């Protein structure tokens, strides 16, 4: 069976990526950093080992902001789109909304980190 190739990128198309599956740890996160990074109450993520993600767009790699002692948030420096997080442990977490196709069954989040960070009405 051939590995699944996930593609995606930013709003303006200058940052593009290809990630070779399988996708790992599909989950939501409602921690304060994820909420600020995405402007959303819960960020949906999937993870890949760094060596299975290639930055393919004309801009190359995304810009990063060091958000914690172990991770940097990735974004497009032109349009500002949030793309994911590049962790020091060789993991790249991509936001599901940055994928071209995000409807595959294996991408459905199976857990929710920092669920207590979302408002009671959500």
89 pLDDT higher than 90: no
pLDDT tens string 23-32: 999 999 999 9
pLDDT tens string 44-76: 999 999 999 999 999 999 999 999 999 999 999
* 3-state SS assignment for residue 35: helix
96 pLDDT higher than 70: yes
Q: Would you say 85 and 92 are in contact if contact means Cβ atoms under 8 Å apart?
A: yes
1 pLDDT higher than 90: no
Tell me what pLDDT residue 79 has.
97
* 3-state SS assignment for residue 20: strand
Backbone CA torsion sign across 92, 6, 106, 98: positive
Q: Would you say 89 and 5 are in contact if contact means Cβ atoms under 8 Å apart?
A: no
E-only strand ranges, 1-122: 5-9, 16-20, 24-29, 43-49, 53-55, 63-68, 71-75, 82-87, 91-95, 111-113
* 3-state SS assignment for residue 48: strand
């Amino acid at each position: 069976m051939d590995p699944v190739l996930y593609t995606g990128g930013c709003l303006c198309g200058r940052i593009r990526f290809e990630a070779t599956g399988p996708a790992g740890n599909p989950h939501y996160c409602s921690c304060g950093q994820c909420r600020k990074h995405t402007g959303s109450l819960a960020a949906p993520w999937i993870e890949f080992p760094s060596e299975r993600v290639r930055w393919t767009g004309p801009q190359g790699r995304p810009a990063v902001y060091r958000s914690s002692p172990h991770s940097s948030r990735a974004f497009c420096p032109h349009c500002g789109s949030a793309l994911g997080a590049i962790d020091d442990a060789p993991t790249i977490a991509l936001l599901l909304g940055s994928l071209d196709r995000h409807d595959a069954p294996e991408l459905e989040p199976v857990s929710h980190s920092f669920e207590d960070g979302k408002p009671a009405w959500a």
